Amino acid sequence: MNLEKLKKQIEFIKEIDKLKYILRKTKLINSDRNENDAEHSWHLSVMAIVLAEHANAPIDMLRVVKMLLIHDIVEIDAGDTFIYDAQKSHDNTEEEREAAKRIFGILPGDQAEELLTLWEEFEEQQTSDAKFARAMDRLEPLLQNTSNNGGTWNEFGVNYDKVYAKKYAIAHGSATIWEYAEQLLNESVEKGILKR
Amino acid sequence: MNLEKLKKQIEFIKEIDKLKYILRKTKLINSDRNENDAEHSWHLSVMAIVLAEHANAPIDMLRVVKMLLIHDIVEIDAGDTFIYDAQKSHDNTEEEREAAKRIFGILPGDQAEELLTLWEEFEEQQTSDAKFARAMDRLEPLLQNTSNNGGTWNEFGVNYDKVYAKKYAIAHGSATIWEYAEQLLNESVEKGILKR
């Protein structure tokens, strides 16, 4: 019986319940209710499964889904950083690294190591799996903002160029999805919900 | 370019956003805030990844995670049914089957078929993958209720025998996790948060 190992795993499972309280800036589709990180991670994981065929390069779907399920867990300690916040870089901060060590570190050693490495791979954006996962993370708020009259773009006064620069990460994961996303951005400008 | 297929996939992705509004009876850990189905599906998926080694039989982790990510999507149309509700069977109702056809049916044919089949496999509980997935679905509310002074057990007056009968599904997925769960049930009786 692995009851000792199991107890560490259960402690981790209870700890990550806190992700359900971390609110993002973006709102749900056709809604003014903020999305939380747990819902967000669920949605990206289903998106990856459904959109897999459009990946630019062969991907390992289980690795992509694991990455997406855990990519925001560090925000339990570090909080959500708005992607267009110039002050506080969205990139991998020291605070997030400490959070990853603490939270994944609750697990038995081999698992802690696996999830920490997977989280770093997502942050570093060098592999096909990480790039496709990131594409999901950029696509979801695009669907949300276009359903909400510009959503956070209008709320925080973010213009086309800034949005384009962030959304371009989609192209590294999937040319097909990027084609669709670029069209959505152009339509948003035409509709006046995204300012030039 | 697969833009036509992609548009159906995007329509599905937008539709399932509604899962974030479907509230379960159970509350989050140490909380009086109800859990929603999207958060719940995220949590079970991470649990499956972390607890995989305890499965009674070899499992295909990607299939288990897919099952868990989509297992409650039917509740967008059919609503959440409380597991101890004797009136309205928790089992696979005709309403849920219609919901599965409608919602998965938004996807391109091959994908609709894959997810519908996977959802049916979970409901039928005949395979190792489905049994391990179900074990996760029974374990999470146990962790929630024990953290909340009995939670829904007290709120709806459910006794030990009824809880035991439902939780026993865990044993079909993992003997180790069941050993832990049974201990948790006994402790709950001793503490007076679960009535005999």
Each residue's pLDDT tens digit, A63-116: 999 999 999 999 999 998 888 887 666 555 899 999 999 999 999 999 999 999
* Surface-to-core class of residue A4, CB atoms within 10 Å of its CB (0-12 exposed, 13-18 middle, 19+ buried): exposed
Provide the mean pLDDT of chain A: 95
* Residue B9 at interface with chain A, using a CB cutoff of 8 Å: yes
Provide the mean pLDDT of chain B: 95
Cβ of A60: how many Cβ atoms within 10 Å?
14
Specify the pLDDT at position B68.
Answer: 98
| Structure confidence at residue B85 as a pLDDT band (50, 70, 90) | confident
**Better-scored residue on pLDDT, A3 or A31:** A31
Mean pLDDT to the nearest integer, B143-160? 96
Residue B141 has pLDDT above 60, yes or no: yes
Residue B91 has pLDDT above 70, yes or no: no
B100 within 8 A of B112, measured Cβ to Cβ: no
| Structure confidence at residue A1 as a pLDDT band (50, 70, 90) | low
Each residue's pLDDT tens digit, A118-136: 999 999 999 999 999 999 9
Altogether, the residues listed in chain A come to a count of: 196
A49 within 8 A of A147, measured Cβ to Cβ: no
* Residue A177 at interface with chain B, using a CB cutoff of 8 Å: yes
Q: Which residues 60-89 on chain A approach chain B with CB closer than 8 angstroms?
A: 61-62, 65-66, 69-70
Residue A52's contacts (CB-CB under 8 Å, 6 or more residues apart) are A59, A61, A64, A132
Kindly list the domain boundaries of chain A, sorted by start residue. Answer: 3-191
Specify the pLDDT at position A185.
Answer: 98
Specify the pLDDT at position A92.
Answer: 59
CA distance B159 to chain A (A): 24
The model's pTM? 0.96
**Interface contact A62-B65, CB threshold 8 A:** yes
CA distance B140 to chain A (A): 9
- Please tell me the class of the A3-191 domain: mainly alpha
* Residue A54 at interface with chain B, using a CB cutoff of 8 Å: yes
Residue B82 has pLDDT above 90, yes or no: no
Specify the pLDDT at position B89.
Answer: 61
* Residue A106 at interface with chain B, using a CB cutoff of 8 Å: no
